Structure 1
Amino acid sequence: MSERRSPTIRRRRLGAELRRLRDAAGITIDTVAERLECSSSKISRIETGHTSVTPRDVRDMLLIYGVSAAESEELVQIAREARQRGWWHPYSSVLNGAYVGLEAAARSVRTYEQQVVPGLLQTAEYAGAMIQLARPDMPADEVTQRVRVRSNRQSLLTQDDPIDLWVVLDEAVVSRPVGGDEVMRAQLTRLAEVAELPNVTIQLLPFEVGAHAAMDGSFTILDFPERGDPDVVYAENATGGLFLEKSDELRRFNYIFDQIRARAMRPEESIAHIAELAEEPLWKWRPRGSSRT
């Protein structure tokens, strides 16, 4: 498998290696910060991959750790690559660049969605309607930019080295007509079509399963091809999302995903049902405002 060149994953990998080398040298973060005349929090952010680091700072850090010239040059080159801009950089004002950078380097993406179709599967019309409904004050050109970014991300599913995508959708996702009847029918048809790709699996979690393990909210698990790049969970919340990387957090979300996909409809049943809904959607026969008994 050829590696997708993502500066985000290189920054994360470089940070992990710098942390390993510092630990091996028995040197504290405070000592490094003092030698480099910077804050300890800066060194910590570098090691967690949350901020970029200049090649010069990498050389200085490796000199402190007593690393050989050959190994130093290799890591300095990674630092250069980590500072390059991904395709998403021009859109940094309208997206979470950290997430898109990790997604671009992932081998597989497993996601559970409670309310909306995931961005990788959205039609442009559905994406535009969703953004406008959530942010009615947003300028039209910014809406267009956000839709364009989502469309660009979808190439991950069809490029020469595509990601493996496994999606579990709560039934609410396919039951609510985002953007109106025509837009939602086209979105359901799109889901059925994309599910034909060998690297895409879609399952529906029906209402009748009742309470389930993922009721706390939507989340995504990203897995990477290199052993040195541990999985990441992106858990969405009202302010955007949170990246989780601790081993106990990863185990918990892997368990949750296994539980809900086991309770969901089988992929072939899910797609057949979605195709049926595109023809006879629930919102067409359910009276608006009707109460349930």
Structure 2
Amino acid sequence: MRRRRLAAELRRIRTEAGMSITQAVARLGWPGSKLSRIENRQIGISAADVRKLLDLYEVDDDRQVRELVELARRSKERGWWESYTATLPTETRTMIGIETEASLIRTYSQALIPGLLQTPDYARAVIRAARPTDSQEIVNERVEIRLARQALLDEKEAPQLWVVLNEAAVRHVVGSKAIMKTQLESLIKERETSSVELQILPFSAGEHPAMVGSFWLYSFPAPNEMGAVYIETMNSALIMEEPQDLDTYGEAFDRLRAAALSPKDTRELVRSLVADTL
């Protein structure tokens, strides 16, 4: 993700400088394909080469230079999730990388409490239902990964998480009534940070633009940086970055939150469901 962000910024700055890739590599004396491969995320780039490019593009904002040089240094770091290559598919590891870099995460969930808000027992029941042939060791490792992701929400600069849940997600009993009660209580507990906004889309809202399924929408801190849409399937996942896809899902999310219960009314509904499970 850091390489992705850096490549996008370097491409944008070069374009704004009115310079082609051919002109840039000629001025720097680089091999013809080097810059193209950097901008297409096929290879990384050193901090020293980032400085050379920014000098060439006449970037004189010291803060911007420092941020991009630091991004180049950090792009070589491996995330904690990369050690789970035997357990997690590439798409999931990419999603976690996107998640850790995002400043705003928006999600609509049709039938499940999202992974970032799941309790351990709820997560275990969901994972076991989706992967019934996995060993207990693999299931436990996947639960461990899901809980490790949640630490993101407790960080000093935590991303804003905005969740719209279909009412089915809070009414469908997962695991057992006791597990579901604990999960619902977790949704409305007071948090140390105010980074989580939760709304429920009631059955009474009728038809809506996301009836085809759940999605995650990620935005990043750099003002000119494109976001990403993540859609999970049973066997794989789809990551989309095209502007039209981001617009479609962004508009859909806005319509969903407009039709959903307010955060206050959402808490009241969840409290009533908790009381019903006693």
TM-score by length of structure 1 reads: 0.77
CA distance in 2, matches of 1:179, 1:36: 58
Any idea what SS the aligned residue of 1:138 has? Answer: coil
Where does 1:147-186 land on structure 2 (aligned, <5 Å)?
147-186=143-182
- Asked whether the 8 Å contact 1:195–1:271 carries over to 2, the reply is no
Please point out which of 239, 255, 259 is paired with 2:251. 255
Q: What are the superposed Cα offsets for residues 158-201 of structure 1, whole Å, 9 maximum, x if unpaired? A: 22222211100011111211111111111111111157852211
CA distance in 2, matches of 1:269, 1:172: 16
Could you tell me which residue of structure 1 aligns to residue 20 of structure 2? 26
Distance change >3 Å, CA 161–CA 195, structure 1 → 2: same
* Counterpart amino acid of residue 116 in structure 2: L
Q: What are the superposed Cα offsets for residues 9-38 of structure 1, whole Å, 9 maximum, x if unpaired? A: x2112211443466543236xx99xx8597
Deviation, structure 1 residue 151: 1.0
1:94 pairs with 2:90? no
CA distance in 2, matches of 1:240, 1:144: 20
* Counterpart amino acid of residue 170 in structure 1: N
Could you tell me which residue of structure 2 aligns to residue 84 of structure 1? 77
CA distance in 1, matches of 2:84, 2:204: 40
Q: What are the superposed Cα offsets for residues 51-71 of structure 1, whole Å, 9 maximum, x if unpaired? A: 552539x949x78x9668x99
Where does 1:58-207 land on structure 2 (aligned, <5 Å)?
59=49, 78-95=71-88, 96-193=92-189, 197-207=193-203
CA distance in 1, matches of 2:250, 2:81: 28
Any idea what SS the aligned residue of 2:188 has? Answer: helix
Any idea what SS the aligned residue of 1:109 has? Answer: strand
Any idea what SS the aligned residue of 2:111 has? Answer: coil
* Counterpart amino acid of residue 274 in structure 2: A
CA distance in 1, matches of 2:83, 2:141: 10
* Counterpart amino acid of residue 83 in structure 2: P
CA distance in 2, matches of 1:213, 1:85: 37
Could you tell me which residue of structure 2 aligns to residue 55 of structure 1? 46
Distance change >3 Å, CA 135–CA 194, structure 1 → 2: farther
- Asked whether the 8 Å contact 1:132–1:138 carries over to 2, the reply is yes
Distance change >3 Å, CA 79–CA 88, structure 1 → 2: same
Any idea what SS the aligned residue of 1:53 has? Answer: coil
- Asked whether the 8 Å contact 2:9–2:225 carries over to 1, the reply is no
Any idea what SS the aligned residue of 2:232 has? Answer: strand
Deviation, structure 1 residue 134: 0.8
CA distance in 2, matches of 1:200, 1:98: 22
CA distance in 2, matches of 1:48, 1:260: 34
CA distance in 1, matches of 2:7, 2:235: 26
- Asked whether the 8 Å contact 1:222–1:233 carries over to 2, the reply is yes
Bigger Cα displacement from structure 2, 77-86 vs 165-174: 77-86
1:16 pairs with 2:4? no
Distance change >3 Å, CA 217–CA 54, structure 1 → 2: same
Identical positions, percent? 37
Bigger Cα displacement from structure 2, 160-169 vs 228-237: 228-237
CA distance in 2, matches of 1:159, 1:102: 16
Distance change >3 Å, CA 135–CA 227, structure 1 → 2: same
* Counterpart amino acid of residue 188 in structure 1: L
CA distance in 1, matches of 2:159, 2:140: 25
CA distance in 2, matches of 1:208, 1:106: 32
Please point out which of 225, 231, 234 is paired with 1:235. 231
Distance change >3 Å, CA 113–CA 48, structure 1 → 2: farther
Distance change >3 Å, CA 13–CA 48, structure 1 → 2: same
RMSD between aligned residues = 3.4
May I ask how many residue pairs the two structures share in their alignment? 264
Unaligned runs of 5+ in 2: none
TM-score by length of structure 2 reads: 0.81
